[in-house]
Amino acid sequence: MNVRNWLVHLYPRAWRERYGEEFEILLEECLHSPLNVVDIFLGALDAHLGFPYEKNWRLMDMVNKLRTAILLVFAGYIGFVIGGFALYGLADDSPMAALMKTDPSLSAAWITVQAGAAVALLAVIIGGLPITWAIIRRSFITSHQNLRFVLVPVIAFLVLVLYAGFTAAVGLNRLQIPGVLPVVSHDNFPVGNRLLIGGAMLVFVLGAIASTAAVWKAISKTETEENTLRIFGRIKSITLYEYAFIPAVIAALAMLVMLIATLAWGWLSFSALPRVFAGNWGLLQTSTTGSFAVIVAIMAFSTAVAFFGITRGRSARKTA
């Protein structure tokens, strides 16, 4: 079996029976780089998750790429949020936090990160609400299976809130746990407190991963491409993935701005406080430099994933 045949066999049988011959011709024309292979893998993943195979090839390919583009940006955004919370944990209660109050450049870099976070969140909400509403409405009309996927982020958020409440109760000394102090400092940070904070980080990361997977599954199983909304008393029909693409671009650009601002913040902090970066002010009192490097790596990878999705969606819109 040659490479092209192997790539075709990544797709479900029903998909191959409908589009196999056309896809093999396309591979002969377009398989020129590793990015093309990544694109094919994403298409195969999307096809396995579910797709209406009665569509013609051109429309199916366009919708598939647009839908996967939106999902990639969402996945990249969630990854960036994880990195962002880690950055906040790194800066909180450290000498950098006090320095930001007096250093205008450092403060400007931090404000840029915060502004980018607000823009990205707003873009994700604006782009995602119609899709979410379409999934929920379709779940109640046809099948309730997709509804359970929509509930995963809600449950993950509630679990995180409960864990945060548990941590707050410990911090307020309303709940006492052996080996855990209600108040800690850099010089007095028991193992129990590290485990407590580490548990919060684990709950957040696992919830983010589960939510991303659930949203991917829900959208991939939703055949609806158009949705009707009532806006200011008027009925408006929108093409879901086309509508979500521009907010996705804005979210990806906001992530890039935040990444650059984070690098600037790190450089300014290192220049002003080299001893802090040489010490253990990182997450759970790990290396400051090591923690910052991991945070930047997460943000950079997440941004790259989002921009790969945007590139994929843009190519689909050009060929539409």
Number of Cβ atoms within 10 Å of the Cβ of 315: 15
**Among the listed ranges 5-9, 65-69, 159-163, 250-254, which one has the minimum average pLDDT value?**
5-9
How many angstroms from the chain centroid is the CA of residue 319? 27
**pLDDT tens digit sequence for 137-188:** 776 666 566 677 878 888 999 999 999 999 889 888 888 888 888 877 767 7
Q: Which residues contact 28 (CB under 8 A, 6 or more apart)?
A: 4
For the chain, what is the mean pLDDT? 81
**pLDDT tens digit sequence for 292-311:** 999 999 999 999 999 988 98
Q: What is residue 253's predicted lDDT score, i.e. its pLDDT?
A: 97
**What's this model's pTM, rounded to 2 decimal places?**
0.78
Rounded mean pLDDT of 266-279?
90
**pLDDT tens digit sequence for 101-151:** 888 999 999 999 999 999 999 999 998 888 777 777 776 666 566 677 878
pLDDT at 57 over 60: no
SS (H, E, C) 208-265: HHHHHHHHHHHHHCCCCCEEEEEECCEEEEEEHHHHHHHHHHHHHHHHHHHHHHHHHH
Q: Which residues contact 148 (CB under 8 A, 6 or more apart)?
A: none
Burial of 245 (0-12, 13-18, 19+ CB in 10 A): buried
